[in-house]
Chains A and B, each alone.
Chain A
Amino acid sequence: MKTVSELTDIYYKHLYPSLQELEDERKKIKNKLIGIGFFYTLLIGIITLFLLSYDASTEALFGVVFIYIAGMGFLYRWLIKDYTNDFKFKIIAPLIKAIDKNLTYSPSLHLPSHYFVQSKLFTSEPDRITGNDYVQGTIDNVAIKFSDLQVETKHENSKGNEEYTTIFMGLFIVSEFNKNFHGRTVILPDTAQKTFGDYLGHLLQQNNFQRADLVKMDNPAFEKEFVVYGTDQIEARYILTPAFMEKLLILKKRSKHPVSVSFVNKNIHIAIEYNKDLFEPSVFHSLLKYKIAMEYIQTLHLAVGIIEELKLNKKLWSKL
């Protein structure tokens, strides 16, 4: 697999002509956004003043604010639509091909919802799953798929209206695991012990009825970052060897975001909570900026790299 610096090279050398084109487009869109946004704001401002002079109710004013925000979002998406498509086809797609020829990229699709459900990483029932940037393929004979995912659950708010709350937003990766297992092992960021301290946090985790049994691991650094629940104490440790725990710690460090991992149904599921839509073109910053470029490259590299990083390609002999 190509390294991050090789990919950076590709980004700045091979993709430079496309980047230049997109950069011109971006500047135009940015000016358009600012221009239209200004007039739109002005218009709404005048309406608000008009309403105020007629002693309008607070509800009407809230309505105006709501319309303003919704309209702004709509305008933004409408204006950047073509630019986003161009960006995905001209930049993200070639980058993915450069990482590995066997990978296919579908910008508008997302990971099939059942992977999210079967992962058992989240206990809330998902009601709406959206996403984009679906990548799938086989690397070193190991199947891998990942995409951007936003998962929401529906509930009624105090006024009786339906409302969606986000359960997860970020990168969701599914890959074949190289060992046989039958039960379920779920690894989550350790929030309870961090908030309530070791003793009380541990007590809470032990009595978490939504999860399987608590599995205490023998690596203190790992225990500090993660909490493990599993249906089989031995199998959880068979999967989480000392070396594998170290690798997950490295993955967590590299992603700089909360990482949850689960082993269900022959697969490893990795959810990284970026809390934003990934692989979207930047509008207000130059695409040529190193920091912006690195965000795309590092995220892609991290996702595809898990096969090498976690040695998922070293299959057990009985799985060959």
Chain B
Amino acid sequence: MSTPLIILIVVIILLILMYNSLVAKKNQVENIFASIDTQLKKRYDLIPNLVASVSKYMEHERSILEDITKLRAEANKPNISDNEKIKLDAQITSALGSIMIAVENYPELKANENVIHLQHTLSEVEEQIAAARRAYNQAVTDYNNALEQIPTNFMANAMGYTRKEVFEIPKEQRENVNVKELFAS
């Protein structure tokens, strides 16, 4: 076999490997986003129940309850982009956090079995979401790195891949002092 032919074969193999690794990275991001989506949906499904259980008592927090219902409706709309989902998730997380803290001011709610159940379920979903977010961020970082590093950047450019955004992880969650801790007793 002539040398140029060998070089050509090697180059083609390298290109295929590069192409496949980029596709694998993109799919990894999509796969993990799909599982975040499932977890987020699970959480959205808990919201109406939560609002119904607490609204009888929570007079001062009406606006948060309305907000969260609105946010949920928006998040459940079809055809919203991944970036929008990420943004909505952050808002819902913070709204849920304030409801959970507000519950502490109502002894009747704190003792309500239904509310306790919801709190536990929510905090478990929350932990799953936190884990999925971190997995997503790692996958996105790997993907973004491949987009910028030589030599995959040329290939990615040709394939029309663009950078993806990572989840902004709230500070409380980074330290993992989540809602669950508040209700541990």
* Chain A interfacial positions (CB closer than 8 Å to B): 216, 218, 233-238, 241-243, 314, 316-318
Contact partner of B176 (CB less than 8 A), chosen from A218, A235, A242, A316, is: A242
Report the separation of the CA atoms of residues A317 and B121 in the bound assembly, to the nearest whole angstrom.
Answer: 8
What are some 24 contacts across the A-B interface (CB < 8 A)?
A216-B138, A216-B142, A218-B137, A233-B28, A233-B32, A233-B138, A233-B139, A234-B35, A234-B131, A234-B135, A236-B135, A237-B130, A237-B132, A237-B134, A241-B130, A241-B131, A241-B176, A242-B174, A242-B175, A243-B176, A316-B124, A317-B120, A317-B121, A318-B120
Given contacts A234-B35, A242-B176, A243-B176, contact A318 B134 (CB under 8 A): no
Give B31's nearest chain A residue, CB to CB. A233
A contact residues around B134 at 8 Å (CB): 218, 237
Q: Are B137 and A317 in contact (CB under 8 A)?
A: no
Report the separation of the CA atoms of residues A235 and B131 in the bound assembly, to the nearest whole angstrom.
Answer: 7
B contact residues around A235 at 8 Å (CB): 131
A contact residues around B142 at 8 Å (CB): 216
* Chain B interfacial positions (CB closer than 8 Å to A): 28, 32, 35, 120-121, 124, 127-128, 130-132, 134-135, 137-139, 142, 174-176, 184
Report the separation of the CA atoms of residues A234 and B137 in the bound assembly, to the nearest whole angstrom.
Answer: 11
Give A320's nearest chain B residue, CB to CB. B120
Give A244's nearest chain B residue, CB to CB. B176
A interface majority secondary structure = helix
Report the separation of the CA atoms of residues A317 and B176 in the bound assembly, to the nearest whole angstrom.
Answer: 17
Given contacts A218-B137, A318-B124, contact A238 B131 (CB under 8 A): yes
Report the separation of the CA atoms of residues A316 and B124 in the bound assembly, to the nearest whole angstrom.
Answer: 8
Q: Are B135 and A317 in contact (CB under 8 A)?
A: no
Report the separation of the CA atoms of residues A236 and B127 in the bound assembly, to the nearest whole angstrom.
Answer: 12
Report the separation of the CA atoms of residues A243 and B175 in the bound assembly, to the nearest whole angstrom.
Answer: 7
Report the separation of the CA atoms of residues A238 and B139 in the bound assembly, to the nearest whole angstrom.
Answer: 15
Report the separation of the CA atoms of residues A236 and B124 in the bound assembly, to the nearest whole angstrom.
Answer: 15
Q: Are B124 and A234 in contact (CB under 8 A)?
A: no
Name the residue in B128, B131, B142 with the highest tally of chain A Cβ atoms < 10 Å from its Cβ. Answer: B131
Q: Give min CB distance, B84 to chain A, whole Å.
A: 22
Report the separation of the CA atoms of residues A216 and B137 in the bound assembly, to the nearest whole angstrom.
Answer: 11
Q: Give min CB distance, A178 to chain B, whole Å.
A: 11
B contact residues around A242 at 8 Å (CB): 174-176
Name the residue in B132, B137, B139 with the highest tally of chain A Cβ atoms < 10 Å from its Cβ. Answer: B132
Report the separation of the CA atoms of residues A235 and B130 in the bound assembly, to the nearest whole angstrom.
Answer: 11
Report the separation of the CA atoms of residues A282 and B120 in the bound assembly, to the nearest whole angstrom.
Answer: 50
Q: Are A241 and B135 in contact (CB under 8 A)?
A: no
Give A243's nearest chain B residue, CB to CB. B176
Q: Give min CB distance, B179 to chain A, whole Å.
A: 12
B contact residues around A316 at 8 Å (CB): 124
Given contacts A233-B32, A234-B32, contact A218 B138 (CB under 8 A): yes
Report the separation of the CA atoms of residues A214 and B127 in the bound assembly, to the nearest whole angstrom.
Answer: 21
Report the separation of the CA atoms of residues A206 and B130 in the bound assembly, to the nearest whole angstrom.
Answer: 24
Report the separation of the CA atoms of residues A237 and B136 in the bound assembly, to the nearest whole angstrom.
Answer: 11
A contact residues around B28 at 8 Å (CB): 233
Report the separation of the CA atoms of residues A173 and B135 in the bound assembly, to the nearest whole angstrom.
Answer: 28
User: 5 tightest A-B contacts by CB?
Assistant: A238-B131, A317-B120, A237-B131, A243-B176, A233-B135
Q: Give min CB distance, B154 to chain A, whole Å.
A: 20
Name the residue in B128, B134, B139, B174 with the highest tally of chain A Cβ atoms < 10 Å from its Cβ. Answer: B134
Report the separation of the CA atoms of residues A207 and B175 in the bound assembly, to the nearest whole angstrom.
Answer: 32
Q: Are A238 and B175 in contact (CB under 8 A)?
A: no
Q: Give min CB distance, A105 to chain B, whole Å.
A: 32
Report the separation of the CA atoms of residues A316 and B121 in the bound assembly, to the nearest whole angstrom.
Answer: 10
Contact partner of B127 (CB less than 8 A), chosen from A216, A233, A238, A314, is: A238
Q: Give min CB distance, A315 to chain B, whole Å.
A: 11
A contact residues around B128 at 8 Å (CB): 234, 238
Report the separation of the CA atoms of residues A218 and B184 in the bound assembly, to the nearest whole angstrom.
Answer: 26
Report the separation of the CA atoms of residues A238 and B123 in the bound assembly, to the nearest whole angstrom.
Answer: 12
Q: Are B135 and A237 in contact (CB under 8 A)?
A: yes
Report the separation of the CA atoms of residues A218 and B176 in the bound assembly, to the nearest whole angstrom.
Answer: 13
Report the separation of the CA atoms of residues A242 and B127 in the bound assembly, to the nearest whole angstrom.
Answer: 11
Contact partner of B184 (CB less than 8 A), chosen from A236, A241, A314, is: A314
A contact residues around B176 at 8 Å (CB): 241-243
A contact residues around B121 at 8 Å (CB): 317
Q: Are B132 and A241 in contact (CB under 8 A)?
A: no
